[in-house]
Amino acid sequence: MKRVLSGMRPTGKLHLGHYVGALENWVAMQGEYENFHLVADYHVLTTQSDTSDIEQNTLEMIQDWLAAGIDPEKSPIFRQSKIKEHSELFLILSMLVTTARLERNPTLKEQMRDLNLRNPSYGHLGYPVLQSADILLYKGEAVPVGKDQAPHVEISRELARRFNKTYGVVFPEPEAKLTPFSRLPGLDGQAKMSKSLHNAILLSDEPETIQKRMHKAFTDPLKIRRNDPGRPDICLVYTYHTRFNAGEEAEIRSGCESGSLGCVDCKQRCAEAIAGQLAPLRERRRKYDGRPDDLRDVLADGEKRAAAVAQATMAQVHEAMGLG
Measured distance CA(75)–CA(111) in Å, rounded: 30
Q: Which residues contact 184 (CB under 8 A, 6 or more apart)?
A: 16, 17, 20, 21, 192, 193, 240, 243
What rounded mean pLDDT belongs to the chain? 91
Could you tell me which residue, 62 or 194, shows the higher pLDDT? 62
Its pTM stands at 0.92
Q: In this prediction, what percent of the chain has a pLDDT beyond 70?
A: 98
Could you tell me which residue, 139 or 121, shows the higher pLDDT? 139
In degrees rounded to 5, what are phi and psi of residue 17?
-60, -40
Is 207-285 a CATH 3.40.50.720 domain? Answer: no
Measured distance CA(79)–CA(303) in Å, rounded: 7
Closest CA relative to residue 15, chosen from 187, 193, 183: 193
Is residue 297 pLDDT above 90, yes or no? yes
Residue type, 203: L
Q: Are 34 and 82 in contact (CB under 8 A)?
A: no
Sign of the torsion angle spanned by Cα atoms 148, 150, 156, 162: negative
- pLDDT-derived band at 106 (thresholds 50, 70, 90) equals confident
Pairing of strands 77-79, 34-39: parallel
Measured distance CA(240)–CA(200) in Å, rounded: 12
Is residue 158 pLDDT above 70, yes or no? yes
Q: Which residues contact 232 (CB under 8 A, 6 or more apart)?
A: 220, 238, 252, 253, 256, 257
Q: Which residues contact 87 (CB under 8 A, 6 or more apart)?
A: 42, 133
The architecture in CATH of the region 3-184+291-321 reads 3-Layer(aba) Sandwich (3.40)
Whether 207-285 and 3-184+291-321 are alike in CATH topology: the answer is: no
Q: Which residues contact 52 (CB under 8 A, 6 or more apart)?
A: none
Q: Are 258 and 231 in contact (CB under 8 A)?
A: no
- pLDDT-derived band at 60 (thresholds 50, 70, 90) equals very high
Indicate the domain borders of the chain: 3-184+291-321, 207-285
- pLDDT-derived band at 182 (thresholds 50, 70, 90) equals low
Sign of the torsion angle spanned by Cα atoms 127, 129, 131, 134: negative
The per-residue pLDDT for range 77-100, each reduced to its tens digit, is 999 999 999 999 999 999 999 999
Q: In this prediction, what percent of the chain has a pLDDT beyond 90?
A: 69
Nearest-Å Rg of the Cα atoms of the chain is 22
Q: Are 2 and 142 in contact (CB under 8 A)?
A: yes
Q: Are 5 and 38 in contact (CB under 8 A)?
A: yes
